[in-house]
Amino acid sequence: MGKYKMLLWAAWKRQRFSVCALFLMIVIASLCLFSAITLYTSGTATVEDKMDQLGFGDFTVWVSGQPERLLGEIEQIEEVESAILQEIIYAGYEVNGNYSDNEGQLISYDGTMPYRFIDRNGEVVNLSEISVGSIYISPAMESMFDVQIGDTIRFNLSRTNGRKTFMVAGYFEDAFMGSSMIDMKSFLVNSADYEEMLQIMADAAAIDVLGRSGAMIHISKDSSSALSDTEFYEELQEHTELAGYMDFTYRKDSILSYMLLLQNIVSGFLMIFSVVLFVICLIMIKHSLTLVIEQEKGDMAILQTMGLTGNILRSIYVTLYGGSGFLGVVLGAAFCKIAAGNIARGMVTSTGMLVDIRTPFGLLSGMFVICMLVFAVAVFTQTGKIIHIAPMQTLREAKSSAKVQSPFSKRYLLVHIAVREVLADRNKYISLCLIAMILTVFLSIIGHMGAWLGPNGEGLMNSFSVAEHDLGVQPLNQTVPMDEIERVINWYSPVVEQYELAMQSVTVNGQEYTANVLDDTKWFHMLSGSVCDDNSILITDTVAQEMGLEIGDIVRVSANGKTGDYEVSGIYQCANGMGTNIGMSIGGYAKIGDITGYIWCRHYILEDGSVRDYVYDYLEEHYRGIDVHTNSWSGLSGIVLVMHMLIVGLYVVTAMIILITVALVAGKLLQSEKSNMAIYKSLGLYTGKLRISFALRFLIVVLGGALLGFAAAGILADPVIGSVFKNFGIGEFEAGFSMLGNIVPIIVVPMLFALSAWIYSARLSRVSIVELIAEDGE
């Protein structure tokens, strides 16, 4: 045992830097993995719990009017376990003078509802009553409207001064509508204020009323029911007057997807990143152990001649490297709760929820065992070479190098020295090349996402919108002077193209969807098949999967009591409603719906799209009776901010990984080349030049890896992101060629490696020629 301890201590002293660097990398990798898992499971569990506590059920239907009779009908259905009605007021609102594009839903808070309140510091506060004149909002409103505690929100209930103004007193978690992905927001107010608002609407003449009363009906399917969700919903439609009351409906999984969209994207990328890091760790284990065994083969042979077995020597390195892996994973797991909590807290203004971080012990234990098994196999396999060391043969072996040819000239001496070193010891650089390739692919994926997202979230805008546009104007009555409005738009920038869109509720084979109706179908973002005509419709990938539909299938589409059969002519891209929508031509919709009302929103594509916000502001300020919007939504900026922060964060962690990798590789290289370095110095080569030559080696190798990564990313980046985004209704992802996705990684990765190598090589100034000579002895 004594000799084991002594050998272990000696090995630790020689290898401590490599072991510590590896440990650090494993900590980061496991922290990313366990945080991502914790965040994902906690977020899902939190939202599900909150939805259950608030009585969401399997479906929630938003209805207008007083639907007590409807509630009774629903409760009569055998398959329904429960139906809970929650009264609300729908009303348009202004935040600090800015109009919202969407209605808000006001809820009277009676102190018994299980809502959770959050103060401005993100801490949970207990609240038994909301004071008169105060309002509580979703934290996502902060990113959507830059609203702060103390700001005012005014609800427009009628045209005849029927306004009600509140002061924002704090935040609450809204598990149904809280995410910034959802435009419609809930507001909690005092019951007296709520009653007053109902009275204002009741007092106003019918023609002047802007707000409306309604309800959410939370419907739960009987647990013994054999019906699928779709069949259950068809049952509801068939046996009740639901269609007559309904504004819109959401299934529980749709709401979950909306609420958790951003968090799941962040978790997904963290998981991908952690896999990348684990692969790098495995490469580094192989690299370090190969070099260590190569360098210490002689000493090991001597120790074997003294009676130590190969297995004892092997166990020293298994303990060191396996131990660092074990401790790294343990530390990563230990701090994952804190890291996940901080990430969740950072996203609260986008997710609208303060996720309760719960450690998923079972899942984490499983991942822990898998990680440990992978590390154990890697370390055990690599150290296997130790037991094959033949002592006398090793001691007799002359240290030989493979001869390589590469030019030498005075002019490019440093480059030529670097090239020669790389070629002579190419095996030592393969790991570096591989890591550079992996990091380049990863940064390219991140870059592709960033480029697609654009500085203002253009990628998301286009994915979530039905068709490309800069500005949309929907007249809500006949008094709107559309000719004048178009002259204004043209004054800002000539209109290049225009078309009309109506978004109407329909059912497809009994399932509720939004129909995007265009007067010119060429504007649909087609993925496959052909555009629809009057006898056909387009569906999204989500609808295709949800309903098991393919191009050529016949579906029954219903609206307003009318029904028609249509062929699915193609798949198109529109992630709005997480992709739960269909595309129709105006002629196709006319067969089942009324196309004469004020349902049409005119979309404009401007010659200079950058003026759209100015036009929006002008129209909002000067015209009434119109709904103006740009190709954006109010919560987009918050999402874009989080995504940009994610990109920056991943770049920062990548830079750290590069620094650690270089420290590991360079440490071993400098150790094995100490003699050559001292010789170069004795010949008169300045330390500064040696450092440049050393950094050049990394630049050459990593550039090679980066170029391979560039090629691999060209093939992999779009499909990888596309497969992640498909889960969120974004059926097609194509970033194309971009600076951020293609060029930046192959510049940044080699430069970071070279810079780190140059910084690390500062220790070359400590390579003493005397030390070299001292090896000769006095």
Partner 1 sequence: MKDKKVKTPVIAGKKIVKTFGEAKVLNEINLEIYDGDFTVIMGTSGSGKSTLLYCLSGMEQATGGTIYCGDQTITGASEKELTKLRADKFGFVFQKTHLVSNLTLYENIVMSGLIGSGLSEKEVREGAKQLAAQMNLQDAVDRLPSQVSGGEAQRAAVARAVMGNPAILFADEPTGALNKANTKEVLDLFTELHKKGQTILLVTHDKEAALRGNRILYIEDGRVISELALSEYKKDDSMREKKLAVWLEGLGW
Name the site residues for partner 1 (rule: CB under 8 A). Answer: 398-401, 403-404, 408-411, 413, 420-421, 424-425, 675-676, 678-687, 765, 769-770, 772-773, 775-778
**Would you say 287 or 428 has its CB closer to partner 1?**
428
**Would you say 421 or 718 has its CB closer to partner 1?**
421
Query: How would DSSP label each residue in 384-428?
Result: GGGGG--HHHHHH-------------STTHHHHHHHHHHHHTHHH
**Would you say 419 or 626 has its CB closer to partner 1?**
419
Q: For the chain, what's the residue count?
A: 778
Contacts of 235 (CB under 8 A, 6+ apart): 77, 79, 227
**Would you say 5 or 411 has its CB closer to partner 1?**
411
Strands (E), 481-525: 495-508, 511-518
d(CA 143, CA 341): 19
Q: Collapsing DSSP states into helix, strand and coil, what is residue 100?
A: coil
**Would you say 123 or 775 has its CB closer to partner 1?**
775
Q: Could you tell me the two tokens for 468?
A: 């490309």
**Would you say 223 or 400 has its CB closer to partner 1?**
400
Q: Residue 676 Cβ, how far from partner 1 at the closest point, in Å?
A: 5
d(CA 241, CA 346): 44
Q: Residue 143 Cβ, how far from partner 1 at the closest point, in Å?
A: 56
**CB 256, CB 262: distance < 8 Å:** no
Q: Residue 341 Cβ, how far from partner 1 at the closest point, in Å?
A: 51
Q: Residue 638 Cβ, how far from partner 1 at the closest point, in Å?
A: 55
Q: Collapsing DSSP states into helix, strand and coil, what is residue 395?
A: helix
Q: What angle do CA 166, 171, 176 make, to 5 degrees?
A: 105
Q: Return the CA Rg of the chain.
A: 33
Q: Residue 412 Cβ, how far from partner 1 at the closest point, in Å?
A: 11
**Would you say 123 or 778 has its CB closer to partner 1?**
778
**Would you say 206 or 683 has its CB closer to partner 1?**
683
Nearest Cα neighbor of 320 from 260, 380, 270 is 380
**Would you say 378 or 670 has its CB closer to partner 1?**
670
**CB 162, CB 208: distance < 8 Å:** yes
**Would you say 224 or 409 has its CB closer to partner 1?**
409
Q: Residue 766 Cβ, how far from partner 1 at the closest point, in Å?
A: 11
**Would you say 307 or 684 has its CB closer to partner 1?**
684
Contacts of 402 (CB under 8 A, 6+ apart): 424
Nearest Cα neighbor of 575 from 129, 287, 38, 181 is 181
Q: Residue 774 Cβ, how far from partner 1 at the closest point, in Å?
A: 9
Q: DSSP letter at 309?
A: -
Q: Collapsing DSSP states into helix, strand and coil, what is residue 589?
A: helix
Residue 445, CA atoms < 13 Å, CB-side half-sphere: 26
With DSSP H G I counted as helix, E B as strand and the rest as coil, what are the percentages for the chain, rounded to 5?
55, 20, 25
Q: Residue 395 Cβ, how far from partner 1 at the closest point, in Å?
A: 16
Strands (E), 462-608: 471-475, 495-508, 511-518, 526-529, 536-539, 554-559, 562-572, 581-585, 601-606
**Would you say 345 or 689 has its CB closer to partner 1?**
689
Q: Residue 679 Cβ, how far from partner 1 at the closest point, in Å?
A: 5
Q: Residue 392 Cβ, how far from partner 1 at the closest point, in Å?
A: 19
**Would you say 418 or 713 has its CB closer to partner 1?**
418
Q: Residue 414 Cβ, how far from partner 1 at the closest point, in Å?
A: 10
Q: Residue 745 Cβ, how far from partner 1 at the closest point, in Å?
A: 31
Burial of 668 (0-12, 13-18, 19+ CB in 10 A): buried
Contacts of 78 (CB under 8 A, 6+ apart): 222
Neighbours of 530 (CB within 10 A): 12
Q: Residue 398 Cβ, how far from partner 1 at the closest point, in Å?
A: 6
Q: How far is CA 390 from CA 292, 300, 305, 382, 674, in A?
A: 17, 10, 10, 17, 26
